[in-house]
Amino acid sequence: MRIKPEGEDVTSEDKFDNEAPPAMYIVLLFVRAFDRAWFRGHFNFRMRNNPNFGKGTYGFMSPYCVEHTYVMNRNLERLENDGYKTHPAFAPFMKAVAVVPHVSKAGSAFF
């Protein structure tokens, strides 16, 4: 495993030299991917101006609560049942999991 020099882009290619990355790193890759694939877009929607109230109404999106809840649920359903495996945001996570050996509950079966 290599340590990234200060200032290097966090999205750059990680190299583990055929060595499995630490489990905590893999878990953080999943959290980062989930943020990019699901959470960030919905959070940004909630924080935008309400088109009915005009400029300066950040966060006043409660009139769209029912519709947005449906969209959030639909997007989450797309990620579950292995849908995350083909989502572009999860590519670094899938790459890291691919090098973890499959050894009972301690290996790749954990992920």
Tens of pLDDT, residue by residue over 28-84, are 999 999 999 999 988 888 888 888 888 888 778 888 888 989 999 999 998 988 889
18 domain-assigned:
no
| pTM score | 0.67
69 domain-assigned:
yes
34 domain-assigned:
yes
4 domain-assigned:
no
State which residues form the domain around 27: 23-110
15 domain-assigned:
no
**8 Å CB contact between 58 and 51:** no
| Rounded alpha-carbon distances, angstroms, from residue 54 to 42, 74, 88, 98, 106 | 20, 28, 35, 48, 53
Report how far residue 57's alpha carbon sits from residue 49's, in angstroms, rounded to the nearest whole number: 5
3 domain-assigned:
no
Report how far residue 95's alpha carbon sits from residue 16's, in angstroms, rounded to the nearest whole number: 11
